[in-house]
Amino acid sequence: MSSPDPQVRAARNPGPGPVQNGPVVAVTGAASGVGALLTERLAASDEVGQVVAVDERRGQCEAAEWHTLDVRDPAIAERLRGVDVVVHLAVDLDLETDPAARSAYNVRGTQTVLTAAAAAGVRRVVLCTSAMVYGALPDNELPLSEDAELRATAEATGVGDLLEIERLGRRAPRAHPGLNVTVVRPAVLVGGTDTALTRYFESPRLLVVAGSRPAWQFCHVEDLCSALEYAALEKVEGELAVGCDGWLEQEEVEELSGIRRMELPSAVALGAAARLHRIGLTPSPAGDLAYTMYPWVVSVSRLHDAGWRPQWSNEEVLAELLAEAAGRHTVAGRRLGRKDATAAGAAGATVALLGTAALVRRARKARRR
């Protein structure tokens, strides 16, 4: 597929001086989170010709060309004319979002972006999912190859959406010859993020399911952004895992964090978590627990082979996560206010998990009123 017309590129690089030869890169979800960080990073890069930012509201990066629209709007195809690479980050994984609405947005948004990119002559789309798609299973190798089978199920928050996004990404090049799709899968993402896995470290005790074998691998958002930049600049392609080198055993996490464990039988922990979620008292389904029970550490060999290296270690990212979690109080995945946290005390996690029957009765009484 040919490069964009030089006149189009010139129009997107206003002002004096020669037209830059780097690619025009569009970022969806560019106004906040990882999208905002990546937009700033690309705009500052000498290797990028121009950044096109797409979101439902305008962000703060003045160097980008902004288009305010929903990624599900087919009109996005016109906004992508002259773009070489699209990095699609407009994905909702918020714990508090209605699951049905979240899935509808994520799937329709990805479908629209892939179709619009092909129609606009974009040569590459970069999708960002998660290493969670490999699944957390007791027989997982340490680390998993990037080519390992995706054995996750849709039982954890957002994982069903991520699996569908990956399926759409695999189908797109067959439906649209000439379109290349690269997938980036970060480990536990840290740095201004709020997920079931980051909330795990806001609890008064670290829940450990008896007989489980946790292994922790983190990914700082700065490292994710540098990996996405590599993909956008076409320095690497295919299915890429990204994260810190190596991993931490549960005992190392406990020693580094200073948070003691609370060990529960599997049936008790999973059963209570399922009931708490079913009655709406916690945002996290029981499937999230698997990712704290079994390993899903990934190799980052493809990025390494391309010359990329993480700037953060697992120990450093854990320290950052603990600093962000300071002052927050989470029990069984639910954030507590200061008054609730004081009442829960050090035994809060035990109360939340073992006192399910009382919580169910309370919820039923509330519904009758």
Write the DSSP string, 141-175: -SSBPTTS-----TTSTTHHHHHHHHHHHHHHHHH
Instruction: Name the DSSP class of 298.
Output: B
pLDDT in tens, 49-90: 999 999 999 999 999 999 999 999 999 999 999 999 999 999
pLDDT at residue 20, as a whole number: 55
Tokens, residue 300: 């980052």
Q: What pTM value is reported for the model?
A: 0.86
pLDDT at residue 352, as a whole number: 47
pLDDT at residue 368, as a whole number: 59
Tokens 């627990």 sit on residue: 289
CB 133 within 8 A of CB 96: no
Tokens, residue 22: 């780097």
Centre a 10 Å sphere on the Cβ of residue 101 and count the other Cβ atoms it contains: 10
pLDDT at residue 232, as a whole number: 98
Host H or E run for residue 40? helix 33-43
Amino acid letter, residue 224: L
pLDDT at residue 275, as a whole number: 86
Nearest CA to 215 among 123, 138, 320?
Answer: 138
Amino acid letter, residue 338: R
Counting as low any pLDDT under 50, the low residues of the chain are 1-11, 13-19, 332-333, 338-361
Cα dihedral angle (6, 12, 16, 17), rounded to 10 degrees? -50
pLDDT at residue 19, as a whole number: 41
Q: What are phi and psi of 52, to 5 degrees?
A: -105, 120
